[in-house]
Amino acid sequence: MRTSELKKYRDILLGKKRGLLDLPTRSTVVDESLRTGDWVDHSSQENDLHVNLALNQTDTKLLRAIEEALHRVENGTFGICMDCEEAIPSARLDAVPWTRVCVACKERRA
């Protein structure tokens, strides 16, 4: 992969990383002293808590994948499928720059 392409993907990855780190903190704790309303409100608050937990987990996984992709950029292995060791097409990298595998290998995993 050319240096200009690596720089492009590195910049995209760093931008996505900054975007994730700049997200407002989602509450994952229910403060019992602030609870108001009836059981329906409590249920809604619990549901919000679970949604926030799931979103935080997703963000953490994505951040980890971005960090790994940045590491591959630095190591010179970015854009190489970790399963078949073939070049990952730029269309795939444009869509999911933190991907570790090509489409064919991803489909085999599913």
Per the structure, the count of domains in the chain is 1
Distance separating alpha carbons of residues 93 and 88, to the nearest angstrom = 7
Distance separating alpha carbons of residues 92 and 90, to the nearest angstrom = 5
pLDDT in tens, 12-46: 999 999 999 998 877 666 666 566 777 787 788 78
Distance separating alpha carbons of residues 38 and 86, to the nearest angstrom = 58
Scan for tokens 């990855």, then name that residue: 13
Classified as helix, coil or strand, 95 is: helix
pLDDT at position 6 is: 95
Q: Residue 62 belongs to what domain range?
A: 3-78
**Is the residue at 100 inside a domain?**
no
Mean pLDDT confidence for 54-58: 91
pLDDT in tens, 65-87: 999 999 999 999 999 999 999 99
pTM of the model as a whole? 0.80
**Is the residue at 103 inside a domain?**
no
Q: Which range has the worst mean pLDDT, 18-27, 52-61, 89-98?
A: 18-27
**Is the residue at 46 inside a domain?**
yes
Q: Which range has the worst mean pLDDT, 8-22, 41-55, 94-108?
A: 41-55
**Is the residue at 11 inside a domain?**
yes
Higher-pLDDT residue of 7 and 46 is 7
**Is the residue at 98 inside a domain?**
no
Buried b (16+ CB within 10 A) or exposed e, 78-103: bbbbeeeeeebeeebbeeebbbbbbe
